[in-house]
Amino acid sequence: MIKTSNYHHGDLREKILQTSFELLDNEGIEAVGIRKIARTLDVAHSAPANHFKNKQALLTALATESFRYLVSKIEKDISKETGNLRLSIHSFSNTILKFGLKYPNRYKLLWRREYADDQDDELGAAMDDIYAALTAILCEHAKNKQVDVESQAIALWSLVHGYVLLRLDENLKEGNDEVTGIKRQVAIIDVLIDGIIE
Amino acid sequence: MIKTSNYHHGDLREKILQTSFELLDNEGIEAVGIRKIARTLDVAHSAPANHFKNKQALLTALATESFRYLVSKIEKDISKETGNLRLSIHSFSNTILKFGLKYPNRYKLLWRREYADDQDDELGAAMDDIYAALTAILCEHAKNKQVDVESQAIALWSLVHGYVLLRLDENLKEGNDEVTGIKRQVAIIDVLIDGIIE
DNA sequence: CTGTTTAAATTGACAGTGTCAATATATAGC
DNA sequence: GCTATATATTGACACTGTCAATTTAAACAG
């Protein structure tokens, strides 16, 4: 009986999540493995099973936590903008892009239903919140009634989502608009806004 | 010595690709496995190694072939539009969406650099071709010089890419614009075009 | 304090994976 | 017909996630 110290961490669940996020951030989604985590925490390979039914449950927890963080960040940042449509939209897209660039693998995990459990209610709710935040801005301010507000919301969401993913997968590099000199990610949102406003 | 028939298929490479696409389409990227393919083809578990160095090489081949197909489809469809900017753009986005909806897992594979080999030249070339096709349309017809043509191209590409992925991951459902009645995927492109034209 | 129940961690096994090395066999070229 | 060469085979290795049985620690009841 050499080691008794590792019995009952008390906070093994938290430590598993922490280690998972480190693996996710540093080595990618595929690198998040039950046994690898257990090894890192110097714990039996089957210990995590007490806290997460299986790998999918663990990934779902990672996705849910990431989603909640992103949603709260979006809402916080948007609340700083005082009712200006253009600024609100830029705030929304900027928050998402910043999150994606800081935590590429978390952002990717968010949207890959094959890893996380799509039946999970908390996960679904967090997703709806993002869309709701966006729709709220547009409903309040949008002046272009030639198309559905929902179409405008979906267009914006798609644009931001697509740009972030293209950046994360390194299909696009950072850059500036040659004409205006502003950052590319701002320029493309402006193109869309020009189609929304007035 | 019971079976001699399986020695030297002659076209094992092709059969591997075919089986891989079936697995990819029906069960997802994760389901594409060397041993599973070998079992399906009633061949030794290590036989595929003669044709694909490793799993990554196989996935790279799948991605490259899919990319080539998509690029050729885009170019073919666009060539039917006679110089009209709006129609050309709709053709571009429609071709991509159609491909994505028909082969969701192929579309996802295309952009996931962690599966395919990002050093692969053919793969990189096919990607550049898509972007080049789009830029070509805009350079020829775009009238809005308030922003870089490249910003317009990136905006369009991002919008289409984002919308397709949101649809494929089932974060968005099919739908129509409530005001105009046209399909959502057309409506959102129109929003962007309104920001590009004039 | 004691005995019992419950939660958490352990070990061990199982089937599966990708990859590599050594071997066997068939095809093609001289 | 002999020899290369390409292709397929078997077997092993180190992994993986998951499950069952077991052991240990903590919590609780009397």
Percent of chain B's residues with pLDDT above 70: 91
pLDDT at B147: 80
B residues 133-192 closer than 8 Å to A (CB): 145-148, 150-152, 154-155, 157-163, 165-166, 169-172, 175, 177-180, 184, 187-188, 190-192
pLDDT at A5: 44
Classify domain B55-196 at the CATH class level.
Answer: mainly alpha
B residues 119-138 closer than 8 Å to A (CB): 127
Is A187's CB within 8 Å of B161's CB? no
B96-116: per-residue pLDDT in tens?
999 999 999 999 999 988 888
Torsion of CA A181, A185, A188, A193, to 10 degrees: -100
- Reported confidence tier of residue A123, pLDDT bands at 50, 70, 90: confident
pLDDT of residue B118 exceeding 90: no
pLDDT at A3: 37
The CA distance from B42 to B20, in Å, is: 14
Where in the sequence of chain B do the CATH 1.10.357.10 domains occur?
Answer: 55-196
Average pLDDT value for chain A: 89
Contact, A148 vs B187, CB < 8 A? yes
CA of A28 to C1' of D15 (A): 18
Classify domain B1-52 at the CATH class level.
Answer: mainly alpha
CA distance, residue A104 to nearest chain B CA (Å): 12
CATH fold for domain A62-196:
Tetracycline Repressor; domain 2 (1.10.357)
* B12 or B121, which is more confident: B12
* B117 or B11, which is more confident: B11
pLDDT at B127: 82
Q: Measuring CA to CA, which residue among B170, B163, B166, B168 is closest to residue B186? A: B163
Mapped onto helix, strand or coil, the DSSP state of residue A46 is coil
* A198 or A101, which is more confident: A101
The CA distance from B27 to A105, in Å, is: 23
Contacts of B153 (CB under 8 A, 6+ apart): B131, B134, B135, B138
Averaged pLDDT for residues B134-138: 88
- Reported confidence tier of residue A4, pLDDT bands at 50, 70, 90: very low
Averaged pLDDT for residues B21-26: 98
Where in the sequence of chain A do the CATH 1.10.357.10 domains occur?
Answer: 62-196
Q: Which of A118, A146, A158 sits opposite B179 (nearest CB)?
A: A146
Averaged pLDDT for residues B90-100: 97
Is B180's CB within 8 Å of A111's CB? no
pLDDT of residue A86 exceeding 60: yes
pLDDT at A120: 80
A95-118: per-residue pLDDT in tens?
999 999 999 999 999 998 888 877
Adjacent-strand bridge partners of B176:
B183
Q: Measuring CA to CA, which residue among A169, A153, A168, A181 is closest to residue B151? A: A181
Q: CB burial class (10 A; 0-12, 13-18, 19+) of residue B170?
A: exposed
For testing contact with chain A, the best of B134, B149, B154 (most A CBs within 10 A): B154
Q: How far apart are the first and last CA of chain B?
A: 75
Q: Which of A112, A159, A194 sits opposite B159 (nearest CB)?
A: A159
Averaged pLDDT for residues B144-170: 91
Q: Which residues of B touch A178 (CB under 8 A)?
A: 148, 150
- Reported confidence tier of residue B143, pLDDT bands at 50, 70, 90: low
CA distance, residue A99 to nearest chain B CA (Å): 16
- Reported confidence tier of residue B9, pLDDT bands at 50, 70, 90: low
Where in the sequence of chain A do the CATH 1.10.10 domains occur?
Answer: 1-52
Alpha helices in chain B (DSSP H): 12-27, 34-40, 55-79, 85-102, 104-111, 121-141, 149-168, 184-196
